[in-house]
Amino acid sequence: MIKVNVLRKKNDGKKNVKQWRTVHLFGKSRRPKESAVVVDQTDSPSGYFKSTGSVSTKTILTEEKFPDNTIVTSKLSLRNSPVSPVTSVAPLLFVVTITAIKQAYEDWLRHISDNKVNNRSIQVVRDGYITGVPSRNIAVGDVVKVSNEQELPCDLVLLSSSEVDGSCYIMTMNLDGETNLKPRVALSDTSPWHSCEDICSSTLDINIDCQLPTADLYKFDGRMNIYSDSAAPLCRSLSSDNLLLRGSRLRNTDYVFGIAVYTGVDTKVALNQQQKKHKFSSVEKALNKFLAVFMVLLVVQVVFCGIASIIWQNAELPIYMGFSRATEASGIINIFLSFLVLFNYIIPISLYVTIELQKFFGAMFIGWDVKMYDPNTDEIAKANTSDLNEELGQVEYLFSDKTGTLTQNDMQFRQCSIYGKRYKEIDGKLQLLLDQNFESSESPSDQMQQFLIALAVCHTVKTEIVESTGKILYQASSPDEKALVEAASRFNVCFRDCVDNTMEVLINNKLQRFKLLHVLDFDSDRKRMSVIVKNPSGNIIMICKGAESSVLSRANDGAVSVTNNDVDYYARHGLRTLVIAFRRLSAEEYEVIDDKLHEAKTAIGDRDAKLASAYDFVERNLTIIGATAVEDKLQENVSETLEALREAGIKVWVLTGDKQETAINISNSCGHFGHGMEIMKVNANNNVECSSLLQDVKVRIDGSPGGSRFALVIDGMSLSFALSSCKDLLLSVTKHCEAVLCCRMSPLQKAKIVRMVKENGHNPITLAIGDGANDCSMIQEAHVGVGIMGKEGRQATQCSDYAIAKFKFLKRLLLVHGHWYYIRIATLVQYFFYKNAAFITPIFYFAFFSGFSAQSMYDSIFLMFFNLAFTSLPILIYGIFEQDFNERHLLQNPSLYKILTKNKYMTMKEFAVWVLLGYWHSLVFFFGVYFLFAGQEGVLLADGKTFDLWCFGTMIYTMTVIVTNLKLALQTEYWIWANHFAIWISIIGYYLFTLFYCGIYWPSFRNGSSDLYWIFLKLVATPAVWFKTILLIVASLLPDYILRIYSTEKVKVMNLMLEKAARNKLLGDRLSESSSLNRNGRNRNYASSEQRNPLISADNGILDMNDSHHSYV
């Protein structure tokens, strides 16, 4: 049972200002009912709970049910055809069934993934024993045991750990993208509970009052009420330092015990994830518009023919035709329904089945692409949905996570500066690069040892020894700290362990102990951290490290100016820097400092302010030792990928939960911030300040000369203000920035940014890419979501639309697969409307010649098989294999991607061209056959008879089958054996089928009718039919051939390629001329029978500038 106390503070009808839930140990109170605390729910001046402290014979606590710990991401969704005419029930049911099976299969895969998470065995204390239960069965109030390296199953308040002081370390990589370890601590009252027996035998009874679930990862307000038999109740405050969040992983701690406070959808990580929703591509939206147009055409045709039929039947008719019933209601309805049944085939219902098959095979090709296979992780690309394949070719905005997406989460020490001397690690040793002649009283060897000892002592790193090898593994709250401690270890200053506040350091194979007196933790305001230690000689030293802006200004001695120059040098090369300093403390100074720190750390009120004041007092009068330069290793080819995407017209935003300084360094090193960009920062504390800063940035951009390049950096707090008060101003600023970097963002803020860009009025197509659970919201919000199979689990890949092993594969996924899929689906959709218009419109023309009697020219079997058999296979093969450009050209010319954006191949103009061609073909089919065959009485069949109705209809149908297949052949750029097979087998198969069908009398199947009996055999036996068929084919396809040659977009593409070729040739000539001058200057002569532009490949293909430059130089 879960007890929840809800307090309300009423103030003239205003909303409640605070709400709480009370969580009892094991879900119920162990105190007798008569000693229960009565909650006074009456109004009180303070608005908080009030305990009467008296005995009550009844309880007024209300029970509230909370959600279980199950996470559900699967959601079945079906897509139906917009029309359902009675005569098309069977095809419609087939389309819906195929779609439902496909969607259910994808949902079933997500359901399997959910079950793996929800059925994970978790240790829970129940009935005095530790029992393994599925994760879904964890309830609020359960005491959960989590072991080292395990992922936390729900949000827990830490009760105790394997450490004596109740501390532990967690990695929140899945939540905020940070790989550093974060400390958490239990209250001293529960920290002695190291086992199940300790918890169950304890005389203490606790319950927790905590705020209702919120999405804020960094805030938790609560209190623990502790009751004992011998003492008065105690109330301890709880904060985020006591909370273990679901999705984080326990590190460097054998085990912890925690009480579940939020489970299932109430957990913070779940609240930061949006419910997966069905996404519709821009092609599907255009398809709906096209269907609406054809529905209007269908209605117009039906109404027109129906009215014309009524008028014709009401006219004076011959007596042998009987009396007209067109004036009766049933007759009128029958007329309109007859034309509706006849013309409804203009709606391409089979289009949906073809699209589903095309997308299904397209998704499989993504997984089969060996060039997107990563042998290191043995991972292939994966399409979790096939509905968005074509959307990969429409992306205009890319939103990327940083940690694990652009980087490898692998910090490496590269260089350092020690008293003005620059060193670089070469083959495991520090090699001197530059000596700036800084005068120091210490020898270079002593200076280096002092520097390395500072690296090995000033940190909060934890060690773990591998039993099999004896190797020391370091786990740190900062990746920089870990890299620096590892570097010191490689240079024979090895940190071994910290036991009882004594740091053991192996210096040149001699063990020395440093007494750890105080740790001044890092915070984002100070941008530094310090330790106070007593060295083996008994001297007290404070060692400090941090950003140069926060350390150099506090120094009064040491290599200040030269270190500042070195830091600037490292920053220009994209390295992360920290400045190292120290201060010697006398016994008297330390005593004063110790008192100040102790007073601040034990303060009840304004603790943060007092700690900041104490730290400021201690961290001054520093002596600068030097600086470090660490590289955050990027993923392979990140810079090349970003450059290609930028050339393709895609704007790249980096959204990260990391610190601003770190994020800026990575943006510089990966090429997100290009050379010459002016970086503008917005860091505001309120709405007014945020609006003012953004306005200043806008004025700066508007007043800049042409050609200026800008990059915007904004933090999460400022972003919250901007989204709430000046969203339009923010959008206006970002539109003029080549790069945007958003720092310290929560998962929901990432999704809000994506939504803001999506809904900015221009409706750009967005893509979000990330690798952790903190990226799921933006992945689901974007039009296309891509997950990286990285080190942060599989949450991102599970909720994404596509999953790849490395960021570099995004280039191929968009520029190659995205380009091809869009071209294929755009042609496929419009081809269906074209061929149905060409197929059915002759029946509309025939209505004028048949007295609007709803008589069909086509046999019923032809109506059924046109889309099903005779024209279905070629367009499916086209939709699977077509390539307008080969992959080499697409990768070397990313600007080709621009020609597809804004759905340019599926505009109403392009659609009108296809439909008009369909009507042109229908005119040629109908009136060409009419005037060349049926209208000429002298033209006879082989048996001496003239054309009849079924000869006329079959001839038109034959023309339609041949021309619609040849029309697709004209559209095809990439010919393989499958295209030839599909087109020619469809045409030949039609002839063979029709010869067979018309050559047999079908009494049972056709109810004794002999309409087509021997008709087709008469046609193929007539030479005039063959000659005039060829004539009409040429006449109908002539406009298609002309448009094919003078296609506007193709001309643009060719111009683009020619311009690039000209630029490459000019550059190549200049390089050749320069080389010639150099050779002449050296008095060397080179002869060649053929001069070749170095930027043109052996097969005369135009090479990419970067690739060409690389190979040439």
Q: Which residues are catalytic?
A: 401
d(CA 28, CA 30): 6
d(CA 426, CA 415): 9
Is 743 in a helix, a strand, or coil? strand
- Alpha helix stretches (DSSP H) within 458-495: 479-490
Q: Is the dihedral of CA 594, 596, 599, 601 positive or negative?
A: negative
What are the Cα distances from residue 781, in Å, to 356, 527, 945? 23, 34, 68
Q: At how many degrees (to 10) do helices 747-758 and 716-725 cross? A: 40
Q: At 62, phi and psi to the nearest 5?
A: -95, 145
Contact 433, 423 (CB under 8 A): yes
Contact 508, 492 (CB under 8 A): yes
Is 22 in a helix, a strand, or coil? strand
Strand pairing report for 739-743 and 651-655: parallel
DSSP E strands in 106-204: the ranges are 121-126, 129-134, 143-147, 155-161, 167-171, 181-185
d(CA 672, CA 711): 9
**Tokens representing residue 344 in the block:** 């409804």
Q: At 23, phi and psi to the nearest 5?
A: -115, 120
**Tokens representing residue 1096 in the block:** 């043109």
* Cβ-based burial of 1055 (10 A; exposed 0-12, middle 13-18, buried ≥19): exposed
Half-sphere exposure of 943 (CA within 13 A, CB side): 12
**Tokens representing residue 443 in the block:** 């020898």
Contact 102, 356 (CB under 8 A): yes
First-residue to last-residue Cα distance in the chain: 74
d(CA 354, CA 873): 9
> What's the gap between Cα 755 and its chain centre?
13
In the numeric block, the tokens 């255009």 are attached to 286
In the numeric block, the tokens 């934890």 are attached to 462
d(CA 477, CA 241): 14
DSSP 1068-1112: HHHHHHHHHHHHHHTT-----SS---TTB-TTSPBPPHHHHHHHH
Q: At 34, phi and psi to the nearest 5?
A: -70, -15
**Tokens representing residue 152 in the block:** 């936390």
What's the farthest any 2 CA atoms get from each other in the chain?
129
What are the Cα distances from residue 633, in Å, to 309, 405, 574, 641, 773? 77, 11, 11, 16, 22
In the numeric block, the tokens 């009844």 are attached to 58
Is 426 in a helix, a strand, or coil? strand
d(CA 719, CA 691): 11
Rounded to 10 degrees, the C-alpha dihedral 391/392/398/403 comes to 130
Cα 962-965-970 angle, rounded to 5 deg? 120
d(CA 947, CA 857): 13
- 243 forms beta bridges with 157
